[in-house]
Amino acid sequence: MSNSSWGFLLLVFSAFFLNLDAFELRKGQKTERISGSAGDVLEDDPVGRLKVFVYELPSKYNKKILQKDPRCLNHMFAAEIYMHRFLLSSPVRTLNPEEADWFYTPVYTTCDLTPNGLPLPFKSPRMMRSAIQLISSNWPYWNRTEGADHFFIVPHDFGACFHYQEEKAIERGILPLLQRATLVQTFGQKNHVCLKDGSITVPPYAPPQKMQSHLIPPSIPRSIFVYFRGLFYDVGNDPEGGYYARGARAAVWENFKDNPLFDISTEHPTTYYEDMQRAVFCLCPLGWAPWSPRLVEAVIFGCIPVIIADDIVLPFADAIPWEDIGVYVDEKDVPNLDAILTSIPTEVILRKQRLLANPSMKQAMLFPHPAQPGDAFHQILNGLARKLPHDKSVYLRKGEKVLNWTAGPLADLKPW
Ligand SMILES: *[C@@H]1O[C@H](CO)[C@@H](O)[C@H](O)[C@H]1NC(C)=O
Ligand SMILES: *[C@@H]1O[C@H](CO)[C@@H](O)[C@H](O)[C@H]1NC(C)=O
């Protein structure tokens, strides 16, 4: 039997089961509990487990920047803004720094957008440095640990390496002043200079209300086998090809553009969100960075994410069993993607779909406003709470210095 007729049978088959599944879901029987490696931690309540002190900074570090460009509320790095708002009114916030477990510095480093809305990270290092200078001279807490009990939200492509090209990001490395702090970032890749031990990998921001408004009835069958919308080549930034997405997206296009099981294109239709709800598998290949908002969209829309990004570290990986939910395909195996996906047994597909249907899974991917129990804000706090108590070694002796304030490119040392 050819792949495509086999695939067609599978579609009919899974569409049938999906209907059944949706029905059973309504009776509240057939969702599977998500049990993370750390136990059933997605439903943990962080309140009472940690106290966070929010530094008060001049508004030029946050609110004023946002006023200049309100588009920052909607792009995929917007978590830095919503996390700030969330913490200001969260019951974990303490106004007494003496009793704080964690210190948070609200700097919006990704709110400098090109006319097309692309965030530029070039001023971020100076801005971050300036903020740290300010907190370390006005409060005693930074010097006590040189940031080891401080956390920062750095959602840019390669986190605190502050560059969107991997080569340059690696060359820069993590901003020297942040080397003891806990970084909350979207970037996650094993053994990479831009991901330090102990960082918390979070989902990128995807607009919750907008996604909600595109939900279609779960009874509509998933008649698309594989779905993808996005770039295959980035000719502007990678004219010779092979560097963008390490060639993985180009390989998807070259191998499957004419394959009827693959609904792939660069065109972004207005039915994009609906289409994901009609698909069994949604490709989540790396782009410039290994992660993209597609992962969040796939989870929200119950489409099994096919993760093509070697060594990626997925959001809240200590709480979410991603191997059970998604499918990992090595970048080098992209040419066999059709065979890999069509050979997954139906019962395995159904189990992944049941796990994806679990509301706690979807909740953990979102930054809703106002916040809701179990959402991404709460998962970040849970992650911070799990790191407590701090090891005694984080507290420096009086006068002891570890960080080098003059390290890094000269341009980063200029005042902001
Ligand atoms: C912290 O250390 C820096 C650099 O040594 C110093 O300039 C600053 O005054 C110290 N901050 C406080 C609050 O003592
Ligand atoms: C700090 O970094 C600068 C620039 O890399 C270097 O010249 C200097 O020796 C370093 N200082 C210490 C104390 O390591």
Ligand nearest to the CA of 402: 2
Residue 221 and residue 191 in one domain:
no
Reading the chain (416 residues) residue by residue, the pLDDT tens digits are 344 444 444 444 444 344 333 333 333 335 676 665 444 788 889 999 999 999 999 999 999 999 999 999 999 999 999 999 999 999 999 999 999 999 999 999 999 999 988 888 999 999 999 999 999 999 999 999 999 999 999 999 999 999 988 889 999 999 999 999 999 999 999 999 999 999 999 999 999 999 999 999 988 999 999 999 999 999 888 888 888 999 999 999 999 999 999 999 999 999 999 999 999 999 999 998 888 899 999 999 999 999 999 999 999 998 888 999 999 999 999 999 999 999 999 999 999 999 999 899 899 999 999 999 999 999 999 999 999 999 999 999 988 999 999 999 999 999 99
Note whether residue 170 is domain-resident: yes
User: Which residue puts its alpha carbon closest to atom 6 of ligand 2?
Assistant: 407
DSSP string, 227-273: EEES-S--TTT-TTSSSGGGGHHHHHHHHHTT-TTEEEES---TTHH
Check pocket membership of 407 for ligand 2, CB cut-off 6 A.
yes
User: Which residue puts its alpha carbon closest to atom 5 of ligand 2?
Assistant: 407
Q: Which of 171, 179, 404 to mutate to test the pocket of ligand 2 (most atoms within 8 A of CB)?
A: 404
CATH number for 231: 3.40.50
Q: In angstroms, rounded to a whole number, what is the distance separating the alpha carbons of residues 184 and 110?
A: 14
What is the CA(406)–ligand 1 centre distance, in A?
A: 15
Check pocket membership of 404 for ligand 1, CB cut-off 6 A.
no
pLDDT score recorded for residue 31: 62
Q: In angstroms, rounded to a whole number, what is the distance separating the alpha carbons of residues 267 and 379?
A: 34
Domains contained in the chain, number = 2
323's tokens: 């191997």
Check pocket membership of 402 for ligand 2, CB cut-off 6 A.
no
pTM of this structure: 0.89
CA nearest 112: which of 175, 68, 165? 68
User: The domain containing residue 262 runs over which residues?
Assistant: 3-30+207-363
Check pocket membership of 413 for ligand 2, CB cut-off 6 A.
no
Check pocket membership of 140 for ligand 1, CB cut-off 6 A.
yes
What is the CA(51)–ligand 2 centre distance, in A?
A: 35
Note whether residue 408 is domain-resident: no
Q: Which atom of ligand 1 is nearest to the CA of 139?
A: 13
pLDDT score recorded for residue 33: 67
pLDDT score recorded for residue 22: 37
Q: In angstroms, rounded to a whole number, what is the distance separating the alpha carbons of residues 324 and 158?
A: 26
Provide the 3-class DSSP secondary structure of residue 368: coil
CB 121 within 8 A of CB 405: no
Check pocket membership of 133 for ligand 1, CB cut-off 6 A.
no
Contacts of 281 (CB under 8 A, 6+ apart): 225, 226, 227, 303, 304, 305, 306, 327, 341
Check pocket membership of 219 for ligand 1, CB cut-off 6 A.
no
User: Which residue puts its alpha carbon closest to atom 10 of ligand 1?
Assistant: 137
pLDDT by residue (tens digit) across 152-204? Answer: 999 999 999 999 888 899 999 999 999 999 999 999 999 999 999 999 999 99
Residue 197 and residue 229 in one domain:
no
Note whether residue 407 is domain-resident: no
Check pocket membership of 404 for ligand 2, CB cut-off 6 A.
yes
pLDDT score recorded for residue 12: 41
Residue 214 and residue 196 in one domain:
no
What is the CA(402)–ligand 2 centre distance, in A?
A: 11
CA 65 to chain centroid:
23
pLDDT score recorded for residue 51: 98
Residue 26 and residue 68 in one domain:
no
Check pocket membership of 143 for ligand 1, CB cut-off 6 A.
yes
Residue 294 and residue 181 in one domain:
no
CA nearest 201: which of 75, 44, 383? 383
Q: In angstroms, rounded to a whole number, what is the distance separating the alpha carbons of residues 124 and 112?
A: 9
pLDDT score recorded for residue 26: 37
- Ranges assigned E (strand) in 302-381: 304-308, 327-328
Q: Which of 135, 143, 144 to mutate to test the pocket of ligand 1 (most atoms within 8 A of CB)?
A: 143
User: Which residue puts its alpha carbon closest to atom 4 of ligand 2?
Assistant: 407
Note whether residue 406 is domain-resident: no
Residue 170 and residue 243 in one domain:
no
Residue 85 and residue 152 in one domain:
yes
Note whether residue 331 is domain-resident: yes
Residue 193 and residue 80 in one domain:
yes
Sign of CA dihedral 177, 180, 186, 191: positive
CA nearest 344: which of 302, 281, 295, 277? 281
pLDDT by residue (tens digit) across 311-340? Answer: 999 999 988 889 999 999 999 999 999 999
Q: In angstroms, rounded to a whole number, what is the distance separating the alpha carbons of residues 108 and 127?
A: 9
User: Which residue puts its alpha carbon closest to atom 2 of ligand 1?
Assistant: 143
Residue 66 and residue 179 in one domain:
yes
Residue 223 and residue 303 in one domain:
yes
What is the CA(410)–ligand 2 centre distance, in A?
A: 12
Check pocket membership of 136 for ligand 1, CB cut-off 6 A.
yes
Residue 100 and residue 19 in one domain:
no
What is the CA(144)–ligand 1 centre distance, in A?
A: 10
Secondary element (H or E) of residue 10:
helix 3-26
Strands of the 182-185 sheet, one edge to the other: 52-54, 102-104, 150-153, 182-185, 200-201
Residue 236 and residue 186 in one domain:
no
Secondary element (H or E) of residue 395:
none
Q: What is the 3-state secondary structure (H, E, C) of 43-87?
A: HCCCCCCCCEEECCCCHHHCHHHHHHCHHHHCCCCCHHHHHHHHH
Note whether residue 113 is domain-resident: yes
Check pocket membership of 270 for ligand 2, CB cut-off 6 A.
no
What is the CA(180)–ligand 2 centre distance, in A?
A: 17
Ligand nearest to the CA of 408: 2
Q: In angstroms, rounded to a whole number, what is the distance separating the alpha carbons of residues 316 and 118?
A: 26
Q: Which atom of ligand 2 is nearest to the CA of 405?
A: 1
Secondary element (H or E) of residue 277:
helix 272-277
CB 13 within 8 A of CB 339: no
Note whether residue 216 is domain-resident: yes
Note whether residue 412 is domain-resident: no
